[in-house]
Structure 1
């Protein structure tokens, strides 16, 4: 019994042991807390770095140049002339501003500009009603037609960005195989092809099928242009320019209506912005069916006015020539009399 009693630690020893255990526990806890602080601080640093990287990427994407547009679309749109031929232009560069093609509105052909989104139902209705007529007038050389593609209805295609993809295809064809561009434009807005809003629209392969039906050769270059969405930024910039900077194709001082009646106009002297589609401009002035009537009749009316003004100018020139001749003859007569 005495040996067992001597083997047990004394009270002081137990107290010292408890203190030692408490000290070791505190040190262990302090080490654990330090590790946690380091982990938290490291996580915060990594999180900040990740956030900065994301912000930098967003800023870079937002400020990055849109890149060149398609060849033959320097104004933002493509111009079709006689025999439906595309008027050639260089590609619009990222640092260039969209400018309307140079035209002389005192003579024929008339210039017509159409702003359209390939998912816009009103644009489809317009094309279905007027497409064949416009094709005839353009083909004969009576008018030039500028088609200006937009993508403001991208949110209405369930995430597929159909408006951008359709407009991108159009730009690819305008650049690579322009002879098929007019027919493709007409097809994309036809009742048989144009998708309804709030649907996914055509797939890229189905869009390429439409290009093929329009006469394009669906080769590797065209497929790659569609796959890469090469002109997606260009189309987005088209929409931004038209809705913020103002539309191109208007005569100086012309105003865009705020509704389809044409009773109220955007403020004079300010940029005339796109507010609805299709926007149709004839010889520098907006055409509205509710105000101006049937488009073909309106074109004939404007055409007659241009022709009349041109004839009046010719008549004035002839009269001036006759007056000059008469004055010359009178001077000769006076000289002969004096002699």
Structure 2
């Protein structure tokens, strides 16, 4: 083989090695972006702690100065949770979430069908705590107003259905679309029988605004690191990288055996 041919093959191999290295780097970057997107509401907390501290007592679109009016059937310490499922369920999931949080939407879309199945079968009850992390960090009122509207849906016995609609129709994190009462009421039209004069008035008057502020205050006092925070019988499972809907289902089934 001539020296020229050997040089050409060596150059080709080097180009191939460089191209493979580029592909590996691109794949690592792609995975990093996926992971980063999934925890955006957690990482964002570090930059908003100062804002939250500086605005203690001010809570996005929630008016903490008014009387605290819990939604119907509120449970938990200080009545700051909305429970879905049967009280007799053998396992409890506690979820702290923000309707503007993309990571919360990702969790609900991935685990929602399993949670619905388990609550429907009486094996699991879920305590939802609604917070306003994005309002405090980015400004706006969408987290608080959506949480108030969800509490209004709870009054009508339709929290779970409206909860799903809000996450299915979540705007971009930087878009404060949920601040508009008309938008929240329009979305309520996707839930049969939810839009009534009572619901409309509850949303427009901010009936549960102070309750939402109280719920967010409980989130801060709990020392949680971001949203969503998901606790299974008190243990944080959202940080478990091996967690899957199927694994959660097995954990719930095991808890119900006892």
Residue deviations 1:238-288, cap 9 Å, x none?
Answer: 1111212x2xxxxxxxxxxxxxxxxxxxxxxxxxx2221111111221113
The answer to whether 1:216 aligns with 2:217 is no
Q: Which residue of 2 aligns with 1:243?
A: 220
Shift of the 135–120 alpha-carbon distance from structure 1 to 2, 3 Å rule, reads: same
CA distance in 1, matches of 2:64, 2:153: 28
CA distance in 2, matches of 1:136, 1:305: 16
CA distance in 2, matches of 1:187, 1:165: 15
Q: Is the 8 A contact 1:109 1:142 kept in 2?
A: yes
The answer to whether 1:187 aligns with 2:165 is yes
Shift of the 168–147 alpha-carbon distance from structure 1 to 2, 3 Å rule, reads: same
- Displacement, 1:293? 2.0
CA distance in 2, matches of 1:275, 1:117: 13
- Displacement, 1:114? 0.9
The answer to whether 1:80 aligns with 2:84 is yes
CA distance in 2, matches of 1:183, 1:300: 25
Q: Which residue of 2 aligns with 1:199?
A: 175
Q: Is the 8 A contact 2:95 2:128 kept in 1?
A: yes
- Displacement, 1:290? 3.6
Name stretches of at least 5 consecutive residues in structure 2 with no aligned partner: 1-57
Tell me the C-alpha RMSD between the 2 structures.
2.4
The answer to whether 1:115 aligns with 2:91 is no
- Displacement, 1:148? 1.1
Shift of the 279–158 alpha-carbon distance from structure 1 to 2, 3 Å rule, reads: closer
Shift of the 63–127 alpha-carbon distance from structure 1 to 2, 3 Å rule, reads: closer
Residue deviations 1:149-169, cap 9 Å, x none?
Answer: 11121146653x000110000
Q: Which moved more, 1:297-306 or 1:124-133?
A: 297-306
- Displacement, 1:64? 4.9
Secondary structure at the counterpart of residue 217 of structure 1: coil
Q: Which residue of 2 aligns with 1:39?
A: none
The answer to whether 1:162 aligns with 2:142 is yes
Q: Is the 8 A contact 1:164 1:235 kept in 2?
A: yes
- Displacement, 1:138? 0.7
Shift of the 149–231 alpha-carbon distance from structure 1 to 2, 3 Å rule, reads: same
The answer to whether 1:278 aligns with 2:228 is yes
- Displacement, 1:147? 1.3
Shift of the 229–110 alpha-carbon distance from structure 1 to 2, 3 Å rule, reads: same
CA distance in 2, matches of 1:118, 1:280: 15
Shift of the 145–125 alpha-carbon distance from structure 1 to 2, 3 Å rule, reads: same
CA distance in 1, matches of 2:184, 2:129: 19
CA distance in 2, matches of 1:294, 1:125: 13
Q: 1:227 aligns with which of 197, 204, 209?
A: 204
Q: Is the 8 A contact 1:156 1:199 kept in 2?
A: no
CA distance in 2, matches of 1:214, 1:305: 32
